[in-house]
Amino acid sequence: MKIRVLVVDDDEDLLFLASKFLEKEDERFELIGVNTDQEALQKLEEEKFDAIVCDHYLGPHSRTGLDLLEWVREANPHIPFIILTGRSQEAVAIRALNLGADYYLKKGDDEVRELFSQIAVRIISEVEQRRSEEALEAAYADLENRVAERTAELEEMNQRLLHEINERRKVEHSLILQQELGNTLCKATNLTDALDGILKTVVQLEGIDSGGIYLIDGRTGKFDVSSSQGLSSHFLYNFYKETGETSIDKPVYLTMRDIQNSKTIEEQYKNLTAVAFLPVTSEDRTVAILSLASHTHDEIPERNRRTLEAISIQIAAYMTRINAENSILDSKAGLTLVSELSDDLFLIIGSDHKIVYANKKTLDRLNVSMDVLLKKTIQDIYRGVDIEKIKTDIENANEGSIVRSDISIAVNNEIKINATAKIRKGKYEGRDAFFILAREVDSQ
């Protein structure tokens, strides 16, 4: 690599000799010679040099080498600077060293060849040392950059890992809440308690702190607040009013901007930052609205949206089950009432032929209690007769038709009731069953 040296001296002969001898000392030398301080300053501004050799005296119309040294050290404190002095100028040499010169040589003490040999040695020594230092500094800077980059990568990986762990914990929390919700619904004995439990569970999700569950009257379409925590049905009415919709058939999520831009949401709800409306659908119609809100998040987190939609399905399943159970209870009560008012014998048997119900007329005629009768099967009632015939009649009824049977009912081993029975398949308490309506022949 070339060693570019700026030589400053008002003596043209010395500049020529410097170029001749230094380039012989080492072919890497590339000398640029100037006569004045102004020429030197211009060269230093325009070009880059590895070292400077400057005579102290630069002529009557130029600044001294010490003046140039001061300027150079302000702009470039590290470039090697060798100053040449005359004989008996120790004070100049000392001041040069104090100003930051790396070395000084006296002109005239030795022959020219020896002078430039010393200059070459000093320049090579200073330049190589400086280049070594720069290489070390560059290597250290590169190492610091690599360490900084690796540290940044590790920090980023750590942040991603922490984020993933946090997200996983939130997902696990959501799953636990859904599991707790399932347990709550299993234990709930009525719809009100169930919906209260659902709302208390839902507001534990991240970013959700208030809400309500509103049942929809199937006849009027009006809302009935079943459970509420900081959010009234009036808020929901205003939302319907603004959208012009009469029903919600898919989830709706409002951001803080949506709420602030709304013209119908009352001022008391302007502090909400996010809102969710989720329809609870049963039998292809919306039966309730799960409405939830946040005062801290600009929107409902995507992860929680999926959880809320799953919870709305759980609510729908629970309401469907409750309605089915109520229908069964209603039909059971009606069936029981009708059978008790009848003068005929009435029995219900399960698909396993065990008796599950009998009306009072049957209990009286068979002279047994309900507890005793419920331990018997249909074969016990028709004992002593053609058992295969009654089985055949029941199998025929299982095909969906109403079967007429004239087999007598046995009160005991001696007494039998002559009766004509009709057997029909149906449902009792949600299970397959057979209804037997028997009319005594003598009573016709």
Provide the pLDDT for residue 42: 92
pLDDT digits (tens, 9 = 90+) for 152-169: 999 989 988 888 888 788
Q: Are 69 and 100 in contact (CB under 8 A)?
A: yes
Task: Please state the three-class secondary structure of the chain as a single string.
Answer: CCEEEEEECCCHHHHHHHHHHHHHHCCCEEEEEECCHHHHHHHHHHCCCCEEEEECCCCCCCCCHHHHHHHHHHHCCCCCEEEEECCCCHHHHHHHHHHCCCEEEECCCCCHHHHHHHHHHHHHHHHHHHHHHHHHHHHHHHHHHHHHHHHHHHHHHHHHHHHHHHHHHHHHHHHHHHHHHHHHHHHCCCHHHHHHHHHHHHCCCCCCCEEEEEEECCCCCCEEEEEEEECCHHHHHHHHHHHCCCCCCCCEEECHHHHHHCCCCCHHHCCCCEEEEEEEEECCEEEEEEEEEECCCCCCCHHHHHHHHHHHHHHHHHHHHHHHHHHHHHHHHHHHHHHHHCCCEEEEEECCCEEEEECHHHHHHHCCCHHHHCCCEHHHHCCCCCHHHHHHHHHHHHCCCCEEECCCEECCCCCEECEEEEEEEEEECCEEEEEEEEEEHHHC
Query: For residue 194, what are its two tokens?
Result: 């169930």
Residue of 336, 318, 89 lying closest to 213 (CA atoms): 318
pLDDT digits (tens, 9 = 90+) for 223-251: 776 777 877 777 777 776 655 555 678 89
Provide the pLDDT for residue 444: 43
pLDDT tens track, the chain, 444 positions: 888 999 999 888 888 888 888 888 888 888 899 998 899 999 999 999 998 998 888 888 888 889 999 999 988 888 889 888 876 678 888 888 888 888 888 876 556 778 788 888 888 888 888 888 888 989 999 999 999 999 999 998 998 888 888 878 877 877 887 788 777 777 776 777 888 888 888 888 888 888 888 888 777 777 776 777 877 777 777 776 655 555 678 898 988 888 888 777 777 777 888 989 889 988 788 888 888 989 889 888 888 888 888 888 888 888 887 777 666 555 666 676 667 767 888 889 988 889 999 988 888 888 889 998 899 888 887 765 567 787 888 888 876 667 888 777 776 666 678 888 888 888 887 788 888 888 887 644
Provide the pLDDT for residue 413: 62
Catalogue all structural domains in the chain, each as residue range(s) with its CATH number.
3-139 (3.40.50.2300), 188-327 (3.30.450.40), 342-443 (3.30.450.20)
Provide the pLDDT for residue 398: 79
